Amino acid sequence: MNNSKQKNGVWLGKMELPELYRLANKKVHVTASLNTGTFGGPYLTRLKGRGMEFAEARPYQPGDDVRHIDWRVTARTGRTHTKLFREERERPVMLVLDQARPMFFGSRQRLKSVQAARFAALLGWRALLRGDRVGGVLFSEKMHREFRPRSDRRHYLRLLSNIMTEHNRVVDSMNQEEWNFENKFLFAEALRRVRHVVQPGSLVYVFSDFYGFEGECRKHLFQLSKQNHVKAYLVIDPLEKEAPSAGRYAMSDGNKTAWINTGNKQTRQIYASTFDDQLKRLAAELRICRVSLEVLSTVDDVSLI
């Protein structure tokens, strides 16, 4: 790769993702584990036992340790209560990155695919610095790769290297006019595989433009969210949200071409409202799946997250 292809918003530079370690390190305070031979981390599990963090008080049950009786609650309620504690553990983090062709679009600063890779890499670095294990699932029309969560930095660098390599391969092929957008079941199949890779209690980040989101995807996300915290990032370009300045423009999906006149006020309103309606529908569907949604634009500053 020559220098013209580095950090230009189209190709991913060789060190573009690894260098985000410095940015992540500025905002993350690494907490060292006090127990040798055990995994430590900043997350509190839902498992309740003899941990270090108080969780709640509940009515005493036969077999409970009498040393954990909460005498204040017992005196206030007139009924014996015992203390429960949460155990502090590390949390596996899984980065799910959509590298299908619709993600390779951008009108300002960078492609959606580049922005998704940068944000995913930064979140991964932060998780790794917290002591978490980080893995990933990459998918496109021609590949599917899985990296099980590990706390090894070299393992994470291999994941980032694969993101860069696959991304730049797609850009090169598109420059050779290979425009294939057939991915009807691509997203659903990737999410199905994520369900088999992640461990219960994981934090799952999904980066996509949700171009291929449909019923099967909803089913897999709902199942994922039952035992994991799932957060979706909808990656957009400003041109998808708002029509360009007044004029006649050709728009193509790679197969068909249509013309749009953005000088018409009503056309601009329809353009904007269509995006808003689609965003509201996606947010509503993800809420049903118990998945939180954030919108990530290609012009957003990665240092601000």
Count of structural domains, the chain? 2
Measured at the alpha carbon of residue 101, what is the angle toward residues 97 and 103, in degrees to the nearest 5? 55
Please report, as a single letter, which amino acid is at residue 230: V
237-276 pLDDT, tens digit each: 999 999 888 888 887 766 788 888 888 889 889 999 999 9
- What predicted TM-score, i.e. pTM, was given to this entire model? 0.79
Q: How far is CA 115 from CA 171, 278, 299, in A?
A: 14, 21, 8
32 pLDDT above the threshold of 90: no
CB 230 within 8 A of CB 194: no
Strands 134-139 and 144-150: antiparallel
Specify the 3-state DSSP secondary structure of 165: helix
CB 80 within 8 A of CB 74: yes
Q: Are residues 221 and 103 in the same domain?
A: yes
* Cβ count within 10 A of residue 172: 13
In a domain, 33, yes or no: no
Q: Are residues 116 and 52 in the same domain?
A: no
* pLDDT score recorded for residue 203: 96
Q: Are residues 65 and 167 in the same domain?
A: no
Q: What is the DSSP string of 43-98?
A: EEEEEEES-SEEEEEEE--TT--GGGB-HHHHHHHSS-EEEEEEEEE---EEEEEE
Of 125-129, 139-143, 288-292, 294-298, the one with minimum mean pLDDT is 139-143
In a domain, 190, yes or no: yes
Counting Cα atoms < 13 Å in the Cβ hemisphere of 189 gives 13
117-172 pLDDT, tens digit each: 999 999 999 999 999 999 999 999 889 999 999 999 999 999 999 999 999 999 99
Q: Please give the Cα distance from 257 to 45 (Å, whole number).
A: 52
Strands 292-297 and 229-236: parallel
- How would you list the strands of the sheet with 81-89, edge to edge? 43-49, 81-89, 53-59
Q: Are residues 22 and 165 in the same domain?
A: yes
Average pLDDT, the chain: 86
Range of the domain at 82: 43-89
Q: Are residues 52 and 165 in the same domain?
A: no
Q: Are residues 156 and 265 in the same domain?
A: yes
